[in-house]
Structure 1
Amino acid sequence: MTYGIGYWLEKGLVLASDSRTNAGVDYISTYSKMTVFQPAPDRLFVILAAGSLATTQAVINGIRRDLDRPVELQGGAGHDLRHCDYLFEAAAYVGRLSVAVQQQHEEALRQSGASGSATFLLGGQIGNEPHELYLIYPQGNAIKATPETPYLQIGESKYGKPPLDNIGHANLSLEDAARLCLISQVLTQRSNLSVGPPFELVVIEAGNKAIAHQIKLEAGDPSLDAMIHTWSQAQREALHRLPRLPWEPDGSGSGP
């Protein structure tokens, strides 16, 4: 399992992912789940992946293969990331690759009781089109982030969802959204051993077809400890500031 999050903001995009992969409690390894593609100066794509590692790697390899093909073998509009005029076309292309990989191994996986399903987040910008963020389902279809639903998650999403719901919105600054995505990752790590560092994060400014900021936080990075300490302290303070219960004396707390 893994955890990836993409955040659409008026000012740009923030995408973050962990790097842990496990095939049982006794086999845990580290693989990057984030891939950046810039096949031309007028376009930028960031892809996060979750699910079957074999499927996600095959899809990423397929994208690279299609970009490496010579002009005479190119399939035309929507057949690789160079020939998409809109981000929804790029999402559909990634979805087709994913479905093809899953179908190729479907029978063998079914016989062994395994799953080859995978989900992806695709964020980026093409030409003069606005920046967008898509969640691509295992079936190949996709949904887009909106101002009303600005963040999309893949993988082990439930543990990191509360802070996003409580204080997240599309008008956050890129820096606040980056912090929010990272604390969502850290909180998920604390509750689920299948999610863990290194945590990777990229920031893309609206209208700029380049990565504005990119970081990778390894296990033991002091900033991760500082984040969880600050967040936990704030939660404890909020707990003691909640309204008193009916049986408590006015103005008293229920604990130290």
Structure 2
Amino acid sequence: MTYCCAIKVNAGMVFLSDSRTNAGVDAISTFRKMLIYERAGDRFMVMLSAGNLSISQSVREILQTESVRDPESGDPITIWNARSMFDAAQVLGAAVRHINQRDGAALRQAGLEFNVSLILGGQIAGEGMRLFLVYSAGNFIEATTETPFFQIGESKYGKPVLDRVVEPEMPLDEATKCALVSMDSTMMSNLSVGLPLDLVVYEAGALASDRVVCIDQENPYFEMLHKSWGQRLRQVFDSIEDPQWNGEATDVPLKVCSTRHPPLKKITQADERLI
């Protein structure tokens, strides 16, 4: 019922989320799953959420007042005074644990799991961009050069293009295009993910962003991307040679298994009577 992704490249970061939530085929609603925290010149952060909507909304409400203690001074740390994105991720994890302690037992008594996952990314003045994935227990991991993106929600359909294309050196506009293709692929295969989309593109070092877009069914770029991606995939598919079997003229035959891996044994009707 949700798909969100965030990509971190050297040039900046891309955040994308759908807005569909449903409790059945006849109960479809729209709720935004992205929240921006900005103090221009000081910090810029984006949070994406997936999972139980009541949990994620509670986390969003309490996040601005939740705090953790500085291990050295003992002073409270919030997302607005955190000195690093790591500290901000700790505050978010604390907010998740707070809601779990408050509501977790009641949810489990009602037969519901405490299910929420969040992405927090951005930049605070004095350090580089950082991107975190926060789990239901409040613990988190950070994106790396080898894994420069995170997904939450219905992630499997949009993951292949991210795996194949995203790399830290790619331009920011290409990373944006990749995120939109990933979302389009997800929407094509899963009706529980749908428009409108929220998109934020952040340029490294800016500590603010005016590239914030809501994409609906009338957006000309996304409509073009949807049609072009399907057409180009078909063209590439058609350009790949069909499989040819042993003995047929081809440079790339589809050979039978080697002696190390013998072919699959056929079972005849006579064999079945002996089993």
Q: Which position in structure 1 is the counterpart of 2:172?
A: 174
Pick from 190, 207, 210 the counterpart of residue 209 of structure 1: 207
Unaligned runs of 5+ in 1: 68-74, 252-256
Partner-residue secondary structure (3-state), 2:95: helix
Cα separation, 1, equivalents of 2:81 and 2:222 = 40
Unaligned runs of 5+ in 2: 68-73, 252-275
Is the CA contact (8 Å cut-off) linking 2:148 and 2:168 kept in structure 1? yes
TM-score, normalisation: structure 1: 0.89
Cα separation, 1, equivalents of 2:159 and 2:66 = 35
4+ residue runs over 3 A deviation: 64-67, 247-251
Is the CA contact (8 Å cut-off) linking 1:102 and 1:117 kept in structure 2? no
Question: CA RMSD, aligned part only?
Answer: 1.9
Paired amino acid for 2:13: L
Q: Structure 1 residues 224 and 174, CA, compared in 2 at 3 Å: closer, same or farther?
A: same
Paired amino acid for 2:17: S
What does residue range 234-249 of structure 1 map to in structure 2 within 5 Å?
234-247=232-245
Cα separation, 2, equivalents of 1:127 and 1:59 = 25
Partner-residue secondary structure (3-state), 1:149: coil
Partner-residue secondary structure (3-state), 1:211: coil
Shift of 1:249: 6.6
Cα separation, 2, equivalents of 1:196 and 1:210 = 28
Mapped pair 1:145 → 2:137: no
Q: Which position in structure 1 is the counterpart of 2:37?
A: 37
> Which whole-Å deviations, capped at 9, do the CAs of 1:7-41 have from their partners, x for residues lacking one?
01011111110001112222110011110012464
Mapped pair 1:76 → 2:75: yes
Shift of 1:243: 3.0
Pick from 89, 105, 110 the counterpart of residue 103 of structure 2: 105
Cα separation, 2, equivalents of 1:243 and 1:2 = 37
Paired amino acid for 1:76: D
Identity of paired residues, percent?
39
Cα separation, 2, equivalents of 1:10 and 1:144 = 15
Cα separation, 2, equivalents of 1:222 and 1:23 = 30
Is the CA contact (8 Å cut-off) linking 1:39 and 1:81 kept in structure 2? no
Paired amino acid for 1:170: P
Mapped pair 1:7 → 2:4: no
Q: Which position in structure 2 is the counterpart of 1:20?
A: 20
Paired amino acid for 2:75: G
Paired amino acid for 2:172: L
Shift of 1:66: 5.2
TM-score, normalisation: structure 2: 0.83
Max Rg structure:
2
